Structure 1
């Protein structure tokens, strides 16, 4: 059996990510993905037997990449405040480049459940939560279960981006003006989470 051409396989995944995460075509068909990648549908099915297998591969890649970047922030050198600022910066940069990635991940998790969520390390999260508890004891952030702190952080980051289409209409603002709000978001979040 001939070896698979991983360049073509990666091209298909990268094209699918572009369609799904950047352009918001969450229901793109295998034919649309193949056309955008410049390959025929037979080639796509050679690497990914079905749309579900392609979606699962993209989901795993996206979760692993995001988890790795956030884990690196959580265990990096520096103060807890600096780590949190870095998490915000990494998350927002990711979300600006791929505004529909979060929606895709949530949709897939709700559709396929726990079987998609694998290889998420808990050590960096445990370390970060421990530091959050220490910051609470120092009085730098409001006392609460540290898990609430992290859930608040991610909620403050992701919800405005997931709801962007509605917010643009509700507030009657352009994409450019909404982007300005997102650019300000990091400072707003830091001000909400930290007392000093």
Structure 2
């Protein structure tokens, strides 16, 4: 693929990301994506034959940016406390830049449960094996309260993911505007980690 083709493809992916963010997978139309990219629909279909292929490419590109980072954190030699801090900070920082991603994932899992199983085959997909062993060892040593590694990971994931998925609800119930929400999210980079660490401290 020459540079011109690469630029066109990236332009399409950027346009698709915007449209998917606004309309979701089911609501997005290929013509809208072509319009956003400033190309005709025939050229769009030349690069991506279907909306599903385009969605997969957008999702994969974003997922491949964050998944290896999270996997590295889960499997490095740092303490559980540092893992929680680093995971939370990196995840929230990344999603601030890619706010469409959590809804993308939820929508696609509900629409196509096999999709995440396909993603699991990709190199760099987060692996909990070392994290689980580390939690089990620290529980046995009395360094943290008894907790299953899976439950702890669900706590970490839920507290980090939900605010992005539930943004309209949080803003409405909290009676806050977009700028106030952004400030809350910035605070959560450290608040979530501290909350979870304090919950498992002996």
What SS does the aligned partner of 1:25 have? Answer: helix
Partner of 1:188: 191
Q: Does 1:17 align with 2:17?
A: yes
Q: Which moved more, 1:55-64 or 1:84-93?
A: 55-64
2:142 paired with 1:135: no
Offset, 1:109: 1.4
| Most deviating of 10-19 and 117-126 | 117-126
Q: Provide closer, same or farther for how the CA distance between residues 183 and 122 of structure 1 changes in structure 2, counting only shifts above 3 A.
A: closer
- Structure 1, gaps ≥5 residues long: none
- The equivalent residue for 2:32 is 32
In the alignment, the residues of structure 2 paired with residue 14 and residue 73 of structure 1 have an alpha-carbon distance, to the nearest angstrom, of 28
In structure 1, C-alpha distance between the alignment counterparts of 2:143 and 2:98, rounded to whole Å: 33
Q: Could you say if the C-alpha distance between residues 141 and 164 of structure 1 is closer, same or farther in structure 2, counting changes exceeding 3 Å?
A: farther
Aligned counterpart, 2:42: 42
C-alpha distance in 2 between matches for 1:97 and 1:123: 20
RMSD, aligned CA: 2.3
Aligned to 2:53: 53
Equivalence for 1:146: 149
**Secondary structure, aligned partner of 1:5:** helix
- Separation of aligned partners in 2, 1:56 and 1:148: 29
> 2:79 & 2:65 partners in 1: Cα distance?
24
Shift of 1:56: 2.1
The 8 Å contact of residues 129 and 150 in structure 1, kept in 2 or not, is answered as no
C-alpha distance 7-20 of structure 1, shift in aligned 2 (>3 A) = same
Match of 1:177 among 180, 183, 202: 180
- TM normalised by structure 1 equals 0.86
- List runs of 5+ in structure 2 lacking aligned partners: none
